[in-house]
Amino acid sequence: MAITRLGGANAITGTIPQGNIANASLGAVTALPAGVGGKILQAVTVAKTDTYGETVSGNTLSTTIVTGLQPSITPSSSSNTILITATLSLGYSTTGTGNSIGFVLKRGSTVIGKGDSSGSRTSLSTATSVYSSYQLINESISFIDNPSTTSSTTYGISLFNGSGSSRTCLLNRDDRNDDAAYAARGISTLTLMEIAG
């Protein structure tokens, strides 16, 4: 590595022997020192650009996993964690106050990344109120999971209807779904990143 020290008449130029550098370039770094975690080993993402609709009973979390939004990842070590980032464009078939839509993260059929249980309240990853059938709501969450496995692991999303009556929960479109420029279409993504333990 060539070096130059600027100092007027005291300028120094020369070369540091490569043997004195543990890694001569960033390209030579293939692993972090033992005990240092945090390196992203792999990333998998699924982007759902088509629409999805599901009728969910009132004040109920669906047991169905949204189709087309189910990435899988195979951890290289059981001590590694998975950083999950979900961003959904949600629509809802009702208007007015007292209505909400949300979702939970799932590893297989197991709900993860949810709030604590409290009475009859539903534990979710996130939820928000809906005031218009023209709304397209963006909901997102990040969560670190430890699946403790080196087997292929699939993650997904189940939707929540926070109304007292059955409603249609939607992805990537609003409820009116008019064929007009003001009617939005969105994208929903689920990204998994394996992080060294």
pTM of the complete model:
0.79
Domain ranges of the chain: 36-195
The per-residue pLDDT for 26 is 45
The correct answer on CATH 2.60.120.1340 for the domain covering 36-195 is yes
Q: For 129-171, write each residue's pLDDT tens digit.
A: 888 788 889 999 999 999 999 999 999 999 999 998 899 999 9
Q: Is the per-residue pLDDT at 35 higher than 70? A: no
Report how far Cα 23 is from the mean position of its chain's Cα atoms. Answer: 34
Amino acid at 83: L
Q: Is the per-residue pLDDT at 121 higher than 60? A: yes
Q: Are strands 137-145 and 81-92 parallel, antiparallel or unpaired?
A: antiparallel
